[in-house]
């Protein structure tokens, strides 16, 4: 993370550009700026912390598509230090498949002088112990397009061809204005930067509230990748972003269409079952010691509200 001179939060969005594709072919969509790795059941391990919104989306898509027995999952704990995420939830603090204490070890195994932040999600090549990619938007994209032979029979069509153009636009706005918008508020380095970020965020949330007033999911009657991408921010909104990041015009529970939509998604096991509010709160309130120097983790809000009937047909 970094700050521009005027105090606006700027995210370092440069990731390892490798992709995993069927037969290591050139993918139909997106750039090929790195190496291509072949789809191979049992070869790769997804390392994704449930505290992290970018990582949680990969866990959700993996489960929605039925890839649990094809791509294994390693889950670091909710906090990390300046070096990297650690496997402190596993016995002895060691990932049972990779045999490492930190995901940093997989990065350095491939790039001894890796110059950027050690992030999750990351996919690791188990035989070599080397990181393959941490480019999270393309990880979930390729789970759908490149791993199709391993999808379960009733897997949802997360990228419907007839909606793709509009969906790309919706997801771009969700990323810039909402997923990243809450961080732009929380890490603003000046009042002016914060005020501008706050206004942008709530303009987007009002647009989403209106959009969901007339449709079940973001793209219509069926679940898509766009819903996964929005979900991880909504799940963290009242617990973290409303107070910790000062996104406090309203709580999610006060936005009737977004709140009903969020509860409907929570009722889907891939969403609710991979949402750990205690890990989420511990991550933000402990790791961001510049924002919360006491590192005190709040007890609320009560997660039982997520189980209330969503009332959506």
- Domain containing 253 equals 161-275
pTM, two decimals, is 0.97
Is the same domain home to 144 and 171? no
* 52 belongs to the catalytic site: yes
End residue of a domain, out of 112, 128, 150: 150
Q: How high is the pLDDT of residue 13? A: 87
- The catalytic position among 52, 107, 261, 266 is 52
311 inside domain: no
Is the same domain home to 171 and 116? no
* CATH code at position 66: 3.40.30.10
Is the same domain home to 99 and 191? no
- Greatest alpha-carbon pair distance for the chain in Å reads 53
End residue of a domain, out of 150, 173, 203: 150
Binding residues for glutathione are 85
Distances (CA, A) of 42 to 39, 46, 174, 299: 9, 11, 33, 39
Is the same domain home to 25 and 72? yes
Which residues have CB under 8 Å from 286's CB, separation 6+? 78, 79, 292, 295, 297
203 inside domain: yes
292 inside domain: no
Is the same domain home to 271 and 182? yes
283 inside domain: no
Is the same domain home to 113 and 244? no
- The catalytic position among 15, 44, 107, 183 is 183
298 inside domain: no
Count of C-beta atoms within a 10 Å radius of residue 145: 17
Please count the helices (runs of H) and the strands (runs of E) in the chain.
10, 8
Binding residues are 85
* CATH code at position 173: 1.20.1050.10
* CA pair distance 46, 106, nearest whole angstrom: 12
Q: How high is the pLDDT of residue 3? A: 46
Is the same domain home to 140 and 15? yes
Q: How high is the pLDDT of residue 6? A: 64
End residue of a domain, out of 96, 122, 150: 150
Our CA angle for 216, 232, 288, nearest 5°, is 155
Is the same domain home to 134 and 235? no
299 inside domain: no
Is the same domain home to 178 and 111? no
Backbone phi and psi for residue 154, each to the nearest 5 degrees, phi listed first:
-105, 25
278 burial via Cβ count (<10 Å: 0-12, 13-18, 19+): middle
- Spell out, as residue ranges, where the chain has pLDDT lower than 50: 1-5
296 inside domain: no
Q: How high is the pLDDT of residue 45? A: 99
304 inside domain: no
Number of domains in the chain: 2
* CA pair distance 8, 128, nearest whole angstrom: 40
């Amino acid at each position: 993370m970094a700050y521009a001179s005027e105090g606006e939060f700027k995210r370092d969005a440069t990731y390892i550009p490798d992709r995993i594709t069927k037969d290591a072919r050139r993918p139909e969509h997106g750039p090929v700026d790195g190496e291509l790795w072949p789809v191979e059941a049992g070869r790769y391990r997804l390392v994704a912390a449930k505290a992290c919104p970018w990582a949680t989306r990969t866990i959700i898509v993996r489960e929605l598509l039925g890839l649990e027995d094809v791509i294994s999952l390693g889950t670091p704990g909710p906090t990390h230090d300046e070096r990297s995420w650690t496997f402190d939830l596993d016995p002895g603090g060691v990932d049972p498949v990779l045999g490492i204490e930190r995901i940093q070890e997989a990065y350095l195994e491939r790039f001894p002088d890796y110059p950027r932040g050690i992030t999750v999600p990351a996919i690791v090549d188990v035989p070599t112990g080397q990181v393959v990619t941490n480019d999270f938007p393309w990880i979930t994209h390729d789970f759908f397009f490149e791993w199709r032979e391993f999808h379960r029979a009733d897997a949802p069509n997360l990228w419907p061809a007839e909606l793709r153009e509009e969906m790309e636009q919706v997801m771009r706005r969700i990323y810039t204005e909402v997923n990243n918008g809450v961080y732009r508020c929380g890490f603003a380095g000046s009042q002016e930067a914060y005020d501008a970020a706050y206004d942008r965020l709530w303009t987007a949330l009002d647009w989403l509230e209106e959009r969901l007033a007339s449709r079940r999911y973001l793209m219509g009657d069926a679940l898509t990748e766009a819903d996964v991408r929005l979900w991880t921010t909504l799940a963290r909104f009242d617990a973290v972003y409303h107070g910790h990041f000062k996104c406090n015009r309203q709580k999610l529970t006060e936005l009737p269409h977004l709140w009903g939509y969020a509860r409907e998604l929570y009722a889907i096991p891939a969403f609710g079952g991979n949402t750990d509010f205690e890990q989420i709160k511990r991550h933000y309130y402990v790791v961001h010691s510049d924002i919360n120097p006491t590192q005190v983790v709040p007890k609320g809000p009560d997660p039982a509200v997520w189980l209330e009937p969503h009332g959506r047909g």
